[in-house]
Each structure stands twice: as structure tokens, then as C-alpha cells.
Amino acid sequence: MSRKFAGAIGTYALLFLATLLTLIPVIWMVSTSLKPADQVFTYPVEWLPRSVHWDNYTSALTARPFFLYLANSVLQSLISMVISVVLCSAAGYSFAHFRFWGRDVMFVLVLSTLMIPFEVIAVPLYLQVFAWGWLNTYHGLILPTALSAIGIFIMRQYLMGIPADFIESARMDGASELQILFRVIWPLSTPAMSAVAIFSFVYTWNSYLWPLLVVNQDSLRTLPLGMSLFANELTVSYNRIMAVAVFGALPLVALFLALQRSFVRGIVLTGLREG
């Protein structure tokens, strides 16, 4: 056996192991969603249900206004994603191709916010939203968390690879900075924008703490908040929670499959840019 062939076998073995470890929570989620409550925590672990209980899905989707929560999550995530892509691309363009005093210091400050957990700023952010009268509103739910430092970083690193000659040519033709952003930068940065879109959508979709703080009306609850309603001080209905989680994971899978190629290309090319 050649050394190259042995190395390939080792690589694929590691990839298979990593894939298996990644899929174990998914397998457990789907399996639990089909089990009765008394089989969820059996020992040893039963990966396959003894009998399939599809009624877990029926009861989970009808016990609460599931589709209302789903619609709220979709609306929140889509709007947040669009805002994030627009603002992060504009900020990334500024950091990559504008020369102004304090630019690098400002960029470092933006990156430094990645070290601050959201829980640290949640209370002051809540007080500000309360002062503006944004509690129990869609804009209070969406706007405070729409912009991300990681999105600015991805766009800035990617846009640094776009030759400045393209931008200067557009300026010489009389294009404004907004026209350059929309007609030059956006068409050339689709991979990075796809990466920012996926990161933003997934983060917002999985967000629990912020909706919990600013929303107490059932008509505005998102899917994570709806899932928490299956738990109380006496019991936790894990099988129904997993049934809702299966449905909740489908939009994320669909989005990633739709943007997979651009996402991977954007991440790879972003990592190759020098700061």
C-alpha cells in the first residue's frame, strides 16, 4: 500500500468520523421526536424507537400556534438577514477601500466586540429599547441585533481582494459611492454576501434570549420561545420539543443547500485575504 493511498484512507476515515459525530445529535433529535415520553431517557440509549409515534408531531403542531411562531421566526430572520447583508457590505466596503483617519483603530474596535458576550449588553440594550417604546414590536425584536461584527469582518476581508482600479474606473465614469456599492461591489462579492446571509439567518433563527426579553405577547413569539412552552415546573415534553425542532431545522437546511457553493467559496476566499 502506497503512502499516498494510506494517507487518503486516513483522511476519509477522519472525515467519516467527524460526519458521524456531527450527525449524532440530529439522529437523536429525529429519533426522540418519534418516541413516546417514557422511552426518551431509557438506558441503554435506544437510537431507534420501538414504535413510531407520528402523533408527537400532530400534538406538537396543534398544542400551540406553531405556524404563527414559525412565521414570526421567518420574518425576523429574513429582515435581519437583509439588513445585515446591506449594512455589513457597506461597512466592509468603507473599511476596505476608503482612507480616513482612525480607520484601522475603528476596525479593531469593531472586531473587539466579538469578545463581548451578548449577555453582557443584553440589559443595557433592553433598557434602551424600553426607553424607545419598542417592547413587543417587530422593530424592537429585529433591529438591535441585525448588525454583526463577524459580517463586517467577512465583507471587509473579501472586498480587500477587489482591485481598486475597478472602483476608480466607476468613479471616473461619474458613479456615486452608492452606485458603486450596488453595481460594482455587490455583483463581485456574492460569495461573501452569501456567507454573511447564512450567519445572520442562523444566528437570528436560533436566538432565544433577546426575544425572551422584549416579547411577552403570544402573537410575537418566535419558534425558540414557542418550544420552551413545552416545559414547565413539573415536566418537560422532550419528544414534542424535538418534533418542533425537526420542523425548525428545515429552513436552515434549505437555506444552506441553496447557498452552499457561494458560502464555502466566500469563507475560503475571505481566509486568504491579508489584513
Q: Where are the domains of the chain?
A: 1-53, 64-272
pTM of the entire predicted model: 0.83
Cβ atoms < 10 Å from Cβ of 254: 10
Give start and end residues of each alpha helix (H) in 35-148. Answer: 55-63, 66-97, 103-112, 118-132, 138-142
DSSP 183: I
- pLDDT tens, residue order, the chain (275 aa): 567 777 778 888 898 899 889 888 888 888 888 888 888 887 787 788 888 888 888 888 887 888 899 999 999 999 999 999 999 999 999 998 888 898 889 999 999 998 999 989 999 999 999 999 999 999 999 998 888 899 999 999 888 888 888 888 888 888 888 888 888 889 888 888 988 998 899 999 999 999 999 998 888 999 999 888 877 655 778 888 888 888 888 888 888 888 777 666 666 655 545 55
DSSP 184: I
CA 251: distance to chain centroid? 11
- Find the distance separating the first CA and the last CA of the chain, reported in whole Å: 43
CA atoms of 273 and 95, how far apart (whole Å) = 14
CA 247: distance to chain centroid? 16
Among the listed residues 27, 22, 59, the one whose alpha carbon sits nearest the alpha carbon of residue 246: 27
CA atoms of 86 and 84, how far apart (whole Å) = 6
Name the phi and psi angles at 211, rounded to 5.
-60, -35
Cell of 52: 413510531
Could you please state the CATH topology (level 3) that the domain comprising 64-272 is classified under. MetI-like fold (1.10.3720)
